[in-house]
């Protein structure tokens, strides 16, 4: 249902389907569980392309999976199997950012200097499986990718904690421009230079692609059924 919703949003924005077989979906089998109880579930990334007839492309991504009904083994609430984990912050907030940016860049009546590839990843909670699958099976030439921009848990911005700008050391461009932009819009921030972390940008950094990762921090509702929409700071996002 979440993938179907995202397809509708990508269609409304006018993105070209850039999954497989002319559609938005890029299917793959995701492994779940621990030995000896390993199973596979069929899932899919949702991929849309905004073509500005440019030579270079920026990938913008977020994961749209979460913990389902708590049967994946990573819930932090005891005995929570059967309880719905909505994941409003992790990572409906990042997915909302993905959709909003798709709408913005598709509708701003500006031919940008880059194309944009928007990817909603599945399987992140199972070990970055969706982004790894895409990076290993890209639907565009990764040599044409300028950078990858990832949003994971951006819905709980607090001025005292700020936003973490991850991947800061993967490109001199970030060092020269990112903090200036953050200051212009009045964001408090902290910096993480590493291109490797517990989210989907890692899969692209390992392909030698510069990355940026935005994250507004952990909280007591992380990986629990209580991570719900009423706790989202919409203005902060």
pLDDT in tens, 170-186: 999 999 899 999 999 99
Distance, in Å, from the CA atom of 221 to the CA atom of 21, rounded to the nearest integer, reads 39
Please tell me the pTM assigned to this model.
0.96
Work out the mean pLDDT of the chain and round it to a whole number.
Answer: 95
Counting Cα atoms < 13 Å in the Cβ hemisphere of 31 gives 10
Cα separation values, 31 from 35, 122, 204, Å: 11, 12, 20
Q: Tens-of-pLDDT digits for all 237 residues of the chain?
A: 999 999 999 999 999 999 999 999 999 999 887 678 888 989 999 999 999 999 999 999 999 999 999 887 788 899 889 999 999 999 999 999 999 999 999 999 999 999 999 999 999 999 999 999 999 999 999 999 999 999 999 999 999 999 999 999 999 999 989 999 999 999 999 999 999 999 999 999 999 999 999 999 999 999 999 999 999 999 999
Retrieve residue 178's tokens.
């990112």
Non-local (6+) Cβ contacts of 20 within 8 A are: 26, 27, 139
Non-local (6+) Cβ contacts of 136 within 8 A are: none
């Amino acid at each position: 249902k979440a993938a179907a919703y995202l397809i509708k949003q990508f269609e409304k924005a006018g993105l070209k389907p850039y999954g497989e077989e002319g559609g938005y979906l890029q299917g793959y089998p995701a492994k779940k569980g621990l030995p000896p109880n390993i199973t596979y579930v069929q899932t899919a990334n949702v991929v849309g392309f905004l073509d500005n007839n440019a030579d270079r492309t920026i990938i913008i991504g977020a994961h749209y999976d979460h913990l389902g009904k708590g049967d994946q083994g990573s819930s932090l609430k005891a005995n929570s199997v059967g309880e719905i984990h909505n994941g409003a912050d992790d990572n409906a907030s990042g997915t909302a950012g993905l959709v909003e940016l798709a709408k913005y860049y598709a509708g701003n009546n500006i031919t940008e200097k880059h194309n944009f590839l928007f990817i909603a990843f599945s399987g992140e909670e199972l070990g970055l499986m969706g982004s790894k699958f895409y990076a290993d099976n890209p639907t565009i030439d990764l040599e044409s990718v300028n950078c990858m921009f990832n949003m994971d848990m951006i819905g709980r911005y607090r001025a005292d904690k700020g936003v973490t700008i991850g991947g800061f050391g993967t490109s001199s461009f970030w060092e020269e421009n990112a903090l200036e932009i953050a200051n212009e819009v009045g964001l408090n921030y902290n910096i993480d230079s590493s291109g490797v972390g517990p989210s989907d940008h890692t899969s692209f950094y390992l392909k030698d692609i510069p990355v940026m990762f935005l994250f507004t921090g952990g909280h007591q509702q992380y990986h629990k059924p209580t991570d719900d929409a009423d706790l989202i700071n919409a203005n902060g996002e």
